[in-house]
Structure 1
């Protein structure tokens, strides 16, 4: 059953219901185990169910998970730290720090040949990268049918569970060799913006991206297990990652803790999907966001910066083609999703956060003072959210007791 640390307006009986439903998902073999965290009004409820791997060690409260795209809001916070120090400006061209993106060419049309281009109407800005509107990213047409999709794949940026593993300068050389699919500011395209921000932040800060995150976010917030790899002495707490084998329908190991992609420091510290973390570590970040940039005595950002980050920045036209991500009830701020319309228990306007494709989810709700974190390592294999994730958010909101 969950461990709790106060009252805070959550029903103990209804949190027990969450435990029963989540335990049933594990018992049915959907994943070997999971950790849930629900926080409200200073009350933190953590539930630890199952094992870190099928046949492996028991799941722990401090088990380490690959949080993949939950890395994006962390990267956006890092960028905003530099904005608040006036070392970066939202609407300045990024050419100074990313000359590879200067003087862009843009496809004449999305289905044009990659050399059928026109000049960009303006330079790419930091705001474009934060809002995923700089002109490159995931083009939601499956199977691939446009020349630009093939060019993106050949450059090493194809959508999928395996992330780019190039050194930062090589990553930027490859991005710089591609034409933009759309004019800067024209369309929202997933993922590439925060990859490039990893390089921009490192160059502007004069240190590695990982070092900047440690010094300015992780150490101040006490996020002792959040990093871009898992050292040997912590691997007994590192969950195994699974994906479904489409031929057999069975789950198979995707990433092994001892020999996998996170066992050593990466060549590229990926600001889109590269971090590992724990429930309590990420809750420290989430509470900082929910508290307007402060956790205890530590202020990471100002309240106005948090409010800007968690405000929908997109027009309907900019969302065109990416309806799979937004439906009709959410938009995008800086590095995270923002709900704009209520049509479900958890679809509360102003609720912000994001999911990770390896089976994780985080959102915080200022109206309710609620944070929820779900950590599994069962890879999402459908555009529809898995039942475990949908049930978690239903159960988090039905537990509100006022």
Structure 2
């Protein structure tokens, strides 16, 4: 076995580039708590407590497990007598040894290959110690030297080879946000994604988010650049094999003064994490044992959740929606909310069609516009599951009409000037709106070219649309901006090309029919048109004008060659709620499996790098990033005026001011239907969300 491990260390390498791994298997039935040994670091370093005392203390305090730190027995990795005694102490105390945290064993991300090899060998000694102790996971650090990219490449090699060797012992390697660039959640998540083939996971720490300090070191000094803790935890949880629930100081109500445990636990719950939660007190104002007890109490109080929608919330939603109608802001509006698989709210107010005298009903058909996009994304990701493409494949590999894309640079004497792209447009780009497709605006030359091409002419087939779009320059270099537009129509073409089936037929057969979404369609037959809501324009003065139905419904009462992925479907509250409930249920509903849970997780993961700072109007949605055809809420609202929501929720809306969201933390889904132009100028979405979740800062 030793010879086999040595061979692995020096010959193996890793090159995984695909999606996040899943959480480590864990028992169900609510959180299990382990005690982090670092909580008693002062006493341990001072000799006032030894390793056996710590394990016994954890058992006395009622912890189910303990997380050992090798710094407190640095010279004992090969001492089997010591290890046996430690294991026996744990057995006697009734606690499980859940994790071994390894420090001071060399840098696995060192630029020097010899230094990296040495670090792997040192870490492997601790892997063998963990195996002797029957510990299932070893936590390591992604520390190194050089630029973040250099540390990344070296860590992929060092941690990857260690993880492969540890796998022979059945031990999982976990990387913590634990100093320097590893405290950048986006960077660490990218590293873990590349290490996916080795099932390397994360220890997601509540507090280690300082990326740079004024002393230039990993520790000490004043923090000069800090990563957002909520976004960081959200990014690490898809990989989490451990969570460090850390606290420093408490207010008079027992809450941590520097972090919102409710938000942090929303993120943990929303990720479906079921492993141990490691309690760690690092404050100095309380004796360690008391600090640990208060941290545990706060965690235990933060885990349970009362229902979001009670009778008071129902009344608040009613008042909010009725108010929009009574003020004349909308003609009609309806909403449906499910929580934990049960309907908890339905309301419909006002008129679907004032001229016809038709009231807003539960089965009213509305035009959902861009809420078509998530349905298209689900169809596309079914083909991803079948191995038809990878997200970072060049788009031109599958749609040759886009292989020769060039980038707009400006005009010279009225002629457009272009340059070659720095890299090809990828499929990931068309799922997150970073492809570079122009979508309106005053851009000399390019604007006129797009208008002449008439890319979205209803008479175009998807193939004709793709040919026209592929012949036009991109507005910007792929991957450099978030710019909403035609990307999801290209997704529809890709579904058609990869499946060999017309897009509308594919969606009907593989998404809509299995879910029973009979009212979600492009063409509305004559017999159902009396259920269609009219559309209304609201002037700056607040006057509503009903658009002629013939014009408003033109796309949906005629059969057109174009079946766009980005708009065009109609739906009802119950139909779209079925789609949302499938997503909150990890891809399956009522016996129909539409996607695998891992694929839903991938879609609701933020794919928009922090380096992409030009984001058009996306910031108006709140503290969000963007996944695969969904906005993803990364941070809580900072002001009462922002659109609120639960961190980890994913959502989208439509041009006629419709909205839906999926809140995994609370197992809640909501759909709001209205037909109002221009898009939500009156705070519909903000006020509906506030009605559901309550006042800011409650």
TM class by shorter chain equals 0.7 to 0.9
Corresponding position: 1:33 with 2:332: yes
Seen in structure 2, the aligned counterparts of structure 1 residues 268 and 112 have a Cα distance that, compared at 3 Å, is farther
- In the alignment, the residues of structure 1 paired with residue 444 and residue 619 of structure 2 have an alpha-carbon distance, to the nearest angstrom, of 20
**Which residues of 2 match residues 194-273 of structure 1 at below 5 A?**
194-244=488-538, 249-253=543-547, 255-256=549-550, 260-273=554-567
Corresponding position: 1:128 with 2:128: no
The answer to whether the 8 Å contact 1:330/1:338 transfers is: yes
Q: What residue is the counterpart of 2:671 in the other structure?
A: 373
**Which residues of 2 match residues 2-81 of structure 1 at below 5 A?**
9-44=308-343, 45-55=345-355, 56-81=357-382
Which structure's residues are more often helix, by fraction?
A: 2
Unaligned runs of 5+ in 2: 1-305
Q: SS where residue 422 of structure 2 aligns?
A: coil
Unaligned runs of 5+ in 1: 1-6, 158-162
Deviation at 1:373, TM superposition (A): 0.8
**Which residues of 2 match residues 334-353 of structure 1 at below 5 A?**
334-343=628-637, 346-353=644-651
The match for 1:100 among 401, 423, 443 is 401
Seen in structure 2, the aligned counterparts of structure 1 residues 9 and 169 have a Cα distance that, compared at 3 Å, is closer
The answer to whether the 8 Å contact 1:137/1:193 transfers is: no
Q: Deviations over 1:243-281 (max 9, x none)?
A: 235799542316448962211222211111111111111
The answer to whether the 8 Å contact 2:410/2:416 transfers is: no
Relative contact order (C-alpha < 8 Å, sep 6+): which is higher? 1
Q: SS where residue 337 of structure 2 aligns?
A: strand
Corresponding position: 1:391 with 2:648: no
Q: Deviations over 1:320-378 (max 9, x none)?
A: 14245456611110011011110167332211010101120001111122111100011
Q: Deviations over 1:19-66 (max 9, x none)?
A: 122112112222221110111112212112122111421221111110
The answer to whether the 8 Å contact 1:361/1:389 transfers is: yes
Corresponding position: 1:193 with 2:494: no
- In the alignment, the residues of structure 2 paired with residue 53 and residue 348 of structure 1 have an alpha-carbon distance, to the nearest angstrom, of 34
Seen in structure 2, the aligned counterparts of structure 1 residues 307 and 110 have a Cα distance that, compared at 3 Å, is farther
Seen in structure 2, the aligned counterparts of structure 1 residues 315 and 339 have a Cα distance that, compared at 3 Å, is same
Q: What residue is the counterpart of 2:386 in the other structure?
A: 85
Seen in structure 2, the aligned counterparts of structure 1 residues 364 and 328 have a Cα distance that, compared at 3 Å, is closer
- In the alignment, the residues of structure 1 paired with residue 453 and residue 576 of structure 2 have an alpha-carbon distance, to the nearest angstrom, of 32
The answer to whether the 8 Å contact 1:30/1:378 transfers is: no
- In the alignment, the residues of structure 2 paired with residue 58 and residue 323 of structure 1 have an alpha-carbon distance, to the nearest angstrom, of 33
The answer to whether the 8 Å contact 1:188/1:318 transfers is: yes
Seen in structure 2, the aligned counterparts of structure 1 residues 359 and 258 have a Cα distance that, compared at 3 Å, is closer
- In the alignment, the residues of structure 2 paired with residue 62 and residue 114 of structure 1 have an alpha-carbon distance, to the nearest angstrom, of 52
Corresponding position: 1:178 with 2:472: yes
The answer to whether the 8 Å contact 1:103/1:120 transfers is: no
Q: TM-score, normalised by structure 1?
A: 0.87
Q: What residue is the counterpart of 1:3 in the other structure?
A: none
Deviation at 1:109, TM superposition (A): 6.0
Q: What residue is the counterpart of 2:29 in the other structure?
A: none
- In the alignment, the residues of structure 1 paired with residue 632 and residue 401 of structure 2 have an alpha-carbon distance, to the nearest angstrom, of 31
Deviation at 1:297, TM superposition (A): 1.5
Seen in structure 2, the aligned counterparts of structure 1 residues 378 and 323 have a Cα distance that, compared at 3 Å, is closer
RMSD: 2.7
Seen in structure 2, the aligned counterparts of structure 1 residues 229 and 348 have a Cα distance that, compared at 3 Å, is same
The answer to whether the 8 Å contact 2:535/2:552 transfers is: no
